[in-house]
Amino acid sequence: MNNHREATTKKNILVVDDRPDNLRLLEMMLSQHGYEVRKVLNGSLAIKVAQAFLPDLILLDIRMAAMDGYEVCQQLKASPQTREIPVIFLSALDNVIDKVKAFQVGGVDYITKPFQVEEVLARVEHQLTIRTLQQQLQQHSLDLEAQVQTHTAQLQLAFDFEATLKRITDRVRDSLDENQILQAAVQELAIALGVRSCNAALYNLEQHSATVSYEYAASLAPIHGRVLRMDNFAEGYRQLLQGQYFQFCSLLPNAQRGRVVMLACPIVDDQGVLGDLWLVSPCEYVFTEQDIRLVQQVVNQCAIALRQSRLYQALQTQVNELEQLNRLKDDFLSTVSHELRTPMANIKMAIHMLEISLKNFEPPGAILEQPAPAPERLQAQPQNEPPQAKPNTQAAKVDRYLQILQDECQREIDLITDLLDLTRLDAEVEPPILAPIELATWLPIVAEPFVDRAHSQQQQLHVDIAPALPTLTTEQASLERILAELLNNACKYTPPGASIVLAAHKTTDRLQISVINGGAEISKQEQARIFDKFYRIPNHDPWKRGGTGLGLALVKKLAARLGASICVESTKETTTFMLQFPFADDTLQDGREQAPTDPTSVRVSRTARRSNDRQP
């Protein structure tokens, strides 16, 4: 009890009673236990004193002249200043009705007269303890509310920070142009932080200068485009070149800016310093840690974007140079091809005329003492084979040489033609001329020139066409050239006794034309390169057929021109080239049912016309 009483020392208690004896008695009781007591003899004065001094507790007599305790309590509870002060009623009345009314008007306790010291002190201490706990609880609630508001403000600040950083980052990363990158960063930072000015500069370390590339100025004189010498502010640029930021306030007012505070951050990455970013505000403004962190994050994004921009520009320059070299190469090939085509045509014509002239002129035959040396193209016979019969007439030798001249001349003409065709396809100057093609009747005609050739090489050529193929709308000349190249290669590289198949069928989403030849295989490593220009598979020409190395490259270009794709599959002793046309309204149309004798296979007669394409 004593400890509790000491804890209540200096509590302020207002005692209201119209009898001085009661006031003196209560004052004596309470003062002896460390309470400060104020005495009031009537209700109206009690209200004024309570509002002026705000006591910790009020002891209020019920029966008083002019204004009783009930009315005094009602007025105290009606005032925001005094409504929280606990009121203990004093009365000689001990009936239930008076006690209930005392609690109804706002009283917290009730003491009956005559006073008992222990009872008075116990009730006073109890209410003061409750009052203290209530005040502590209220203060704790206020503290918690303040903490919640602080945390909410911090969360909102962090959210705003992340949103601002994301918005600026998206704008900065959205461009590969240096000026647009710096413009986005400067504008967004100036608006987000509300500064008077923000500018970004790029460094020229060789000239030791910084050029202001973009500036956002709300009220200051612009400095956009100005070249700043680093030596004029050596101390500041020394820190920036070391990757350090700083802020400072000018001691002397600038003629244009006045006294301002400035924050400077370097635009730096792991490769070095690219430039800097400056923010300017009135001198009374201080950039907070949050502001500095935002600026640093933005300049980091700027550094990444600037490096990407410069890398892109360097790559673009290389691409332009490569394109220029490619154009020069194409121009060179086109020029050389045109220049060679005419003399090669003349040479071929001269050979033809020489052949006619030699046939019309038949000198007496003579037996050769020594056979003429074979040209390089002719292969030496193996030693274990019996020697072939030597020509015994000059005419036979001449015929043989003329045939070699014609073959080699045709090879050069084919090479020139392929080069010119590739040049035209690369230039894409002529759109394809589309026409509908019924594959069931057209493919056998395309394969017809190769039948005799395959038969002469002891090969078998078949055409396998599925029924009900849709009509193909494409460029007939280009498709025919593709199939001729593929069939020509098949005849060249298919060994005697093997088969060649020209097939056509449809899948769920495309129409496929295939050229299949047996007895030949292409490795996985070579399949990725066979469509490259001038590429020929090493040791894959056992019959020394030769070739330009441009045929499959031309096939790929022509397939792309037709909107198709070309691919190759090769397993043991079988190679398949597949030309695939995707289904489209303007490319493939539903075909009608075909009704040949054998709907799955059409044999081509060996008496078909001979192709004008290349033959070995």
Q: Assess if CATH 3.30.450.40 describes domain 173-311.
A: yes
Q: Tell which residue, 388, 447, 500, 496, has the closest CA to residue 608.
A: 447
Q: Tell which residue, 452, 442, 204, 180, has the closest CA to residue 302.
A: 180
What confidence score (pLDDT) does residue 154 get? 82
Element (H, E) at 223: none
Say whether 33 sits in a helix, a strand or coil: coil
- Whether residue 116 is predicted with pLDDT greater than 70 in this model: the reply is yes
d(Cα 368, Cα 74) in Å, to the nearest integer?
A: 151
What confidence score (pLDDT) does residue 147 get? 92
Tell me the average pLDDT across 51-77: 92
d(Cα 483, Cα 603) in Å, to the nearest integer?
A: 17
Q: What is the dihedral of CA 603, 609, 613, 616, to 10 degrees?
A: 80
Hey, which of 13-17, 31-35, 281-285, 495-499 has the most confident mean pLDDT? Answer: 13-17
Tell me the average pLDDT across 274-292: 88
Tell whether omega for the bond before 386 is within 30 degrees of 0, i.e. cis.
Answer: no
Tell me the average pLDDT across 88-115: 89
What confidence score (pLDDT) does residue 251 get? 75
What confidence score (pLDDT) does residue 82 get? 92
d(Cα 479, Cα 526) in Å, to the nearest integer?
A: 24
Burial of residue 580, with CB atoms counted within 10 A of its CB: 0-12 exposed, 13-18 middle, 19 or more buried: middle
How big is the chain, counted in residues? 616
- Whether residue 112 is predicted with pLDDT greater than 80 in this model: the reply is yes
Enumerate residues 6+ apart whose C-beta is below 8 A from 161.
290, 293, 294
Say whether 222 sits in a helix, a strand or coil: coil
Right CATH for 431-589 from 3.30.565.10, 3.40.30.10, 3.20.20.10, 3.10.530.10:
3.30.565.10
Phi/psi at 591 (nearest 5 deg)?
-95, 165
Structure tokens at 93: 């009345």
Structure tokens at 171: 């704008």
Structure tokens at 205: 């370390």
What confidence score (pLDDT) does residue 545 get? 52
Q: Assess if CATH 3.40.50.300 describes domain 2-140.
A: no
More confident residue, 348 or 227: 227
Q: Does pTM surpass 0.75?
A: no
Phi/psi at 229 (nearest 5 deg)?
-80, 125
Query: What proportion of the chain, given as a percentage, has pLDDT over 70?
Result: 80
- Whether residue 146 is predicted with pLDDT greater than 70 in this model: the reply is yes
Tell me the average pLDDT across 483-496: 89
User: Considering the chain, what is the average pLDDT of its residues?
Assistant: 80
Cα separation values, 148 from 137, 142, 158, Å: 16, 10, 15
Burial of residue 594, with CB atoms counted within 10 A of its CB: 0-12 exposed, 13-18 middle, 19 or more buried: middle
- Whether residue 265 is predicted with pLDDT greater than 90 in this model: the reply is yes
- Whether residue 382 is predicted with pLDDT greater than 80 in this model: the reply is no
All CATH 3.40.50.2300 domain ranges of the chain, comma separated, are 2-140
d(Cα 355, Cα 404) in Å, to the nearest integer?
A: 12
What confidence score (pLDDT) does residue 378 get? 41
Task: Give the model's confidence band at 487: pLDDT under 50 very low, under 70 low, under 90 confident, else very high.
Answer: very high
What confidence score (pLDDT) does residue 522 get? 83
Q: Which of 2-16, 258-272, 430-444 has the lowest mean pLDDT?
A: 2-16
- Whether residue 580 is predicted with pLDDT greater than 80 in this model: the reply is yes
d(Cα 487, Cα 515) in Å, to the nearest integer?
A: 7
What confidence score (pLDDT) does residue 336 get? 66
- Whether residue 368 is predicted with pLDDT greater than 90 in this model: the reply is no
Phi/psi at 424 (nearest 5 deg)?
-65, -40
What confidence score (pLDDT) does residue 1 get? 46
Max Cα–Cα distance, the chain, nearest Å? 174
What confidence score (pLDDT) does residue 74 get? 93
Tell me the average pLDDT across 61-85: 92
What confidence score (pLDDT) does residue 377 get? 43
Q: Under a CB-based contact definition with an 8 Å cutoff, are residues 59 and 13 in contact?
A: yes
Enumerate residues 6+ apart whose C-beta is below 8 A from 492.
541, 543, 545, 547, 616
Tell me the average pLDDT across 301-325: 89
What confidence score (pLDDT) does residue 171 get? 82
Tokens 């802020």 identify what position?
247
Q: Under a CB-based contact definition with an 8 Å cutoff, are residues 265 and 276 in contact?
A: yes
Q: Which of 153-157, 160-164, 294-298, 406-410 has the lowest mean pLDDT?
A: 406-410
Say whether 127 sits in a helix, a strand or coil: helix
- Whether residue 334 is predicted with pLDDT greater than 70 in this model: the reply is no
Phi/psi at 106 (nearest 5 deg)?
120, 5
What confidence score (pLDDT) does residue 361 get? 66
Q: Which amino acid is at 331?
A: D
Q: Under a CB-based contact definition with an 8 Å cutoff, are residues 63 and 89 in contact?
A: no
Tell me the average pLDDT across 119-136: 90
What confidence score (pLDDT) does residue 363 get? 56
Say whether 362 sits in a helix, a strand or coil: coil
Q: Which of 232-241, 245-254, 434-443, 503-512 has the lowest mean pLDDT?
A: 245-254
Phi/psi at 405 (nearest 5 deg)?
-60, -45
Tell me the average pLDDT across 464-475: 90
DSSP codes joined into one string, 224-263: TT-EEEGGGGHHHHHHHHTT--EEEE-SS-BTTTBSEEEE
Tell me the average pLDDT across 447-466: 89
Phi/psi at 446 (nearest 5 deg)?
-65, -40
Q: Which of 28-37, 491-500, 526-535 has the lowest mean pLDDT?
A: 526-535
Tokens 């790559």 identify what position?
315
Q: Which of 30-39, 112-121, 399-408, 544-553 has the lowest mean pLDDT?
A: 544-553
Say whether 490 sits in a helix, a strand or coil: helix
Residue range 176-217, pLDDT digits in tens: 888 888 888 888 888 888 888 899 999 999 899 999 988 888
Task: Give the model's confidence band at 258: pLDDT under 50 very low, under 70 low, under 90 confident, else very high.
Answer: confident
Tell me the average pLDDT across 19-43: 91
Q: Under a CB-based contact definition with an 8 Å cutoff, are residues 405 and 429 in contact?
A: no
All CATH 3.30.565.10 domain ranges of the chain, comma separated, are 431-589
Q: Under a CB-based contact definition with an 8 Å cutoff, are residues 12 and 53 in contact?
A: yes
- Whether residue 468 is predicted with pLDDT greater than 50 in this model: the reply is yes
Residue range 383-417, pLDDT digits in tens: 445 455 444 566 677 777 777 777 777 777 777 77
All CATH 3.30.450.40 domain ranges of the chain, comma separated, are 173-311
What confidence score (pLDDT) does residue 4 get? 46
d(Cα 111, Cα 90) in Å, to the nearest integer?
A: 5
Enumerate residues 6+ apart whose C-beta is below 8 A from 61.
16, 17, 18, 19, 22, 69, 89, 90, 91
Enumerate residues 6+ apart whose C-beta is below 8 A from 584.
563
Tell me the average pLDDT across 161-179: 84
